[in-house]
Amino acid sequence: MATSVTPMMKQYLTIKEQHEDALLFFRLGDFYELFYDDAVTASKVLEITLTARDKKKDPIPMCGVPHHSARNYIAKLIDNGYKVAICEQMEDPREVKGMVKRDVVRVITPGTLIDDFGMEDGRNNYLLALYEEAGLYSAAYADISTGELYAFSTSDEDELRSEVERVEPSEIVVDEESAHLLSMIYNDPPLYTVYGEAEAHDVEKEEGVREDEVLNLLLSYISANNMKSLIHFRPVRKHSISGAMKLNHAAISNLELLSNLQTKKEKGSLFWYLNRTETPMGKRKLRSWIERPLMNIPEIKARHDVVNIFLDNFIERADLIKLLNQVYDIERLVGRLSFGNIDAKDLIQIRDSLEGLPAIRSILTELGLLDFPIFKGFDALEDLHRILDDSLLDPPPKTVRDGNIFKSEYDEKLSELRYIQDNARSYLNEYLEAERERTGIKNIKIGFNKVFGYFIEISKVNAMNFDAEKFDYSRKQTLTNAERFITPELKEMETRILTAEDESIVLEYRLFTELRKEMEAYMERLQKTAEMISTLDCLLAFAEVSNTYRLTEPEFDREKFEVEDGRHPVVEKVIGENTYVPNDLRMDDGEFIYLITGPNMSGKSTYMRQVAIISIMAQMGMFVPAKRAVLPVFDAIFTRIGASDDLSSGKSTFMIEMMEANEALRKATKDSLLIFDEIGRGTSTYDGMALAESMLVYIHNFIGARTLFSTHYHELTRLDAELAGLGNYHVKATEYDGKLVFLHKVKPGAVEKSYGIHVARLAELPEEVTSYAREKLAALESGRKSGKADVYQLELPLDDLETAAGDTAKDVVQALKAVDVNTLTPLEGLQKLNELTSMVKDDHNE
């Protein structure tokens, strides 16, 4: 095919063969052009016109976008999951005879973005690599825009799945042998690449990082796509699975930590409640702190101590917040610097970000915070700020090719060229006056046109007796009423004036590249300071939220779990603190399971969520919404709250419920917190009740984890007599004037009655429905009391009992068949029941 096309198209096809999985943006003059299938795809996604090249002979589908506005088009393609290969002209067409050399300079993918393609500033954008060897799963992930790089390993499939879900990568890379991990983790994986060209990379690592193979895979893929040495990568950090509270994807979702369950937006989430940060760096760090609460009490207390200092020093806190408001996204600016993609506007943002750092350091010193490890060695980077402040003009130009980047005094040659540009008219006027004096002609003037450039014009009358040769004037043009001349001095002046702007632009670009290179030496210092600023930003936000919503510093005691007047922070913010009803909790080794009953809409789920969120906030280093809180340090929180069918995977509500419950029961320890809401409601009544009871017994006898367990199965409340660590609690509701009133107060003891029909009336079901339901309920309750209830569990016909049951079950059935209840005395009946019970217990114990 390539032999029958033009040389340019042959060049295109050769380059395209090397990037078959990407849309090739092929630079032709001021446009990026796409051809063949790439053009068809891009025209649909971008909604641009599809045309054709060589329409008469062999039409080739074609579309294009202007070079200067390509960024938005590329961002849209990336957002739709495509890769884009950028092919540039490597030579100046004006200086080359024949075909211009072209080559791909960068492949842009969802996981290899710098922040120039519409990235959200408050979120990390991770590319993740997976690798398996001998049952050990390794992962490494990086945010190229910030230089963050992490790695971890595990032999547990569920743990791998949970951690990858928590990272939430926008793109994944695997080798051929590890490609099966994608289906193990995802039903519908994000964009991924099977990449088989991993090379060894020498990268600095923190202590404990051993995942060399997966790091080589990740870094090789990054290098192949970006085609530059990204020198801003920080040392590889160990993603510590056991060093932080475990929150799986279900817990993060069910507790609405990062987004609201219904709207999928930030509003209504814990992140929304806490986010008073001023910088994009702080916003990203806040998300990571929510996802990974601490378990080390000294580290937690250190954050609490800083929050206390900010609360005690309102003026200094306000000053710091104001100063942080002037700080841009230093982390991503450093990424652009490393990539060579930084422009004059970015340098201005770095300069302005650094301007307030000395004042920040002064306040931190005054408050004694520089003695804290998290702020020790705070670097205000005055030397870099001085360089940028002395050199850069404000406002910056749109591009670095437009000039006007630097102050005139920054460079002697630039100052000279600027002087020429700024004083061209003065030069010409001074020269004109000198020529009038020299020639004795008072009415000569200087003009300009694009054909001849600058010229001296003498009227026809004066020109008749003018000795041009004497004054070194060269005739350039004859007009009806005048003659036009040039002189060597004017020609030289013209050259200087017309070339000064071009020369200054070329000079400024060279100066810019030199400054950019010089700034690379400051990248590590900038990153360390950015890390401290993001931490400072989060802790100031904590203080602001604590002050606004009357939050309390929690205490920690591994043996106690006590909350007095606890509130759900988000719900309270939405409905108002005067409306929200606070609640208590008190657990210890004697009673560590709350079995909670009460009507729908009474606040059971809110109560359970608030307990979990209070614990998460405390371990983040945040104060908590309670009058008093003494908390253990939880190693994990597992939740089963609400459900919906997962149609894409074919999993029903009940299956999802059982899978999440299974993970909790298998992974939880005595130091975990379990939140189970209405377990078993996705199946038939008796099945659900049996499962709920068995889970409670299992948690009580084998795990010992602190548990909040809500249910509508009132029959389960009898378990408080069998399980010493279980206590019954209910959410109070009452009837007033025939209507149900929710009191939202959690009290000891089981709920007194069911209020389902009342809730149905609140939902405004037709009166005929609720009236009939009341009659039916009365009949059922009457039948239950008399032992004649006509209520049965529906069952599918399975195998015959005696063929399906085990030997003991068969013996029990045979023994029951042999009993004649009409001839048994009460004592004999009890003895027979005891025998049958012993048979079952003995079999169970075996």
Kindly calculate the radius of gyration of the chain based on its CA atoms and give it in whole angstroms. 38
Q: Which of 253-267, 280-294, 454-468, 733-747 has the highest mean pLDDT?
A: 280-294
Which residue intervals of the chain bear CATH 1.10.1420.10? 275-327+342-450+488-549
Query: Where do runs of H (alpha helix) occur along 668-766?
Result: 685-698, 756-762
The domain 126-241: what is its CATH number? 3.30.420.110
User: Which DSSP letter does residue 658 get?
Assistant: H
Residue among 517, 70, 124 nearest 329 (CA): 124
Residue 126: Cβ within 10 Å count: 20
91 or 358: which leads in pLDDT = 358
For residues 89-111, average pLDDT: 89
Instruction: Give every strand in the sheet of 136-143, ordered side by side.
Output: 191-194, 171-174, 127-133, 136-143, 148-154, 237-238
pLDDT value at position 827?
A: 57
For residues 62-74, average pLDDT: 92
* Contact call for residues 336 and 119 (beta carbons, < 8 A): no
Q: State the Cα–Cα distance between residues 447 and 455, nearest whole angstrom.
A: 5
427 pLDDT more than 90? no
604 Cβ partners below 8 Å, 6+ apart?
596, 598, 677, 710, 731
Q: Judge: domain 555-765, CATH 3.40.50.720.
A: no
Instruction: Kindly report which listed range (608-612, 748-752, 758-762) carries the lowest average pLDDT score.
Output: 758-762
Bridge partner residues of 709 (DSSP): 595, 676
Confidence of residue 550 (pLDDT cuts 50, 70, 90): very high
Q: Which of 28-42, 589-603, 644-658, 678-692 has the highest mean pLDDT?
A: 28-42
The 10s digit of each residue's pLDDT in 521-531 is 999 999 999 99
* Contact call for residues 129 and 218 (beta carbons, < 8 A): yes
Tokens of 821: 């209840």
First to last CA, the chain: 76
Peptide bond into 395 cis (omega under 30): yes
Confidence of residue 420 (pLDDT cuts 50, 70, 90): confident
Tokens of 575: 């409905």
pLDDT value at position 799?
A: 41
The 10s digit of each residue's pLDDT in 204-228 is 999 889 999 999 999 999 998 887 7
Answer left, alpha or beta for residue 557, where phi above 0 means left and psi between -120 and 50 means alpha: beta
In 368-465 the beta strands, taken as DSSP E runs, fall at 445-449, 453-459
Binding residues for ATP, by number, are 598-605
253 or 685: which leads in pLDDT = 253
Annotate 788-807 with b (16+ C-beta within 10 A) or e (fewer). Answer: eeeeeeeeeeeeeeeeeeee
Can you tell me whether residue 636 is helix, strand or coil? strand
Q: State the Cα–Cα distance between residues 399 and 776, nearest whole angstrom.
A: 77
Q: State the Cα–Cα distance between residues 411 and 515, nearest whole angstrom.
A: 12
Tokens 């994986």 correspond to 189
* Contact call for residues 636 and 673 (beta carbons, < 8 A): yes
838 or 50: which leads in pLDDT = 50
Tokens of 158: 């569920």
pLDDT value at position 41?
A: 97
12 pLDDT more than 90? yes
Q: Which sign, positive or negative, has the C-alpha torsion 259, 260, 263, 268?
A: negative
**Under CATH, what is the fold of the domain 275-327+342-450+488-549?**
MutS, DNA mismatch repair protein; Chain A, domain 3 (1.10.1420)
**Under CATH, what is the fold of the domain 7-108?**
MutS, DNA mismatch repair protein, domain I (3.40.1170)
Confidence of residue 644 (pLDDT cuts 50, 70, 90): very low
34 Cβ partners below 8 Å, 6+ apart?
23, 24, 25, 26, 42, 62, 63, 64
Distance from chain centroid for Cα 195: 25
pLDDT value at position 645?
A: 41
796 pLDDT more than 50? no
Instruction: Give every strand in the sheet of 672-677, ordered side by side.
Output: 246-247, 636-640, 672-677, 706-710, 593-597, 726-736, 739-748
The 10s digit of each residue's pLDDT in 617-633 is 999 999 999 999 999 99
Confidence of residue 17 (pLDDT cuts 50, 70, 90): very high
741 Cβ partners below 8 Å, 6+ apart?
733, 734, 735
Q: State the Cα–Cα distance between residues 758 and 741, nearest whole angstrom.
A: 9
Taking the C-alpha atoms of 279, 280, 282 and 286 in order, what is their torsion angle to the nearest 10 degrees? 140
Which residue intervals of the chain bear CATH 3.40.1170.10? 7-108
106 pLDDT more than 80? yes
pLDDT value at position 803?
A: 43
Task: List phi, psi (to 5°) of 708.
Answer: -115, 120
Helix (H) or strand (E) holding 630: strand 628-631
For residues 125-131, average pLDDT: 95
Q: State the Cα–Cα distance between residues 75 and 42, nearest whole angstrom.
A: 12
Tokens of 784: 């239950």
Which residue intervals of the chain bear CATH 3.30.420.110? 126-241
Can you tell me whether residue 361 is helix, strand or coil? helix
Q: State the Cα–Cα distance between residues 169 and 275, nearest whole angstrom.
A: 22
The 10s digit of each residue's pLDDT in 494-518 is 888 888 888 899 999 999 999 999 9
Instruction: Kindly report which listed range (17-26, 474-483, 816-825) carries the lowest average pLDDT score.
Output: 816-825
Q: What angle do CA 4, 5, 9 make, to 5 degrees?
A: 150
Average pLDDT of the chain to the nearest whole number: 87
488 pLDDT more than 80? yes
372 pLDDT more than 60? yes
Percent of the chain predicted with pLDDT > 70 = 85
Tokens of 635: 């190693």
pLDDT value at position 496?
A: 81
* Contact call for residues 217 and 198 (beta carbons, < 8 A): yes
Can you tell me whether residue 595 is helix, strand or coil? strand
For residues 287-311, average pLDDT: 97
Answer left, alpha or beta for residue 487, where phi above 0 means left and psi between -120 and 50 means alpha: beta
Task: State how beta strands 246-247 and 102-108 pair.
Answer: unpaired
Q: What angle do CA 750, 755, 758 make, to 5 degrees?
A: 160
pLDDT value at position 1?
A: 45
Binding residues, by number, are 598-605
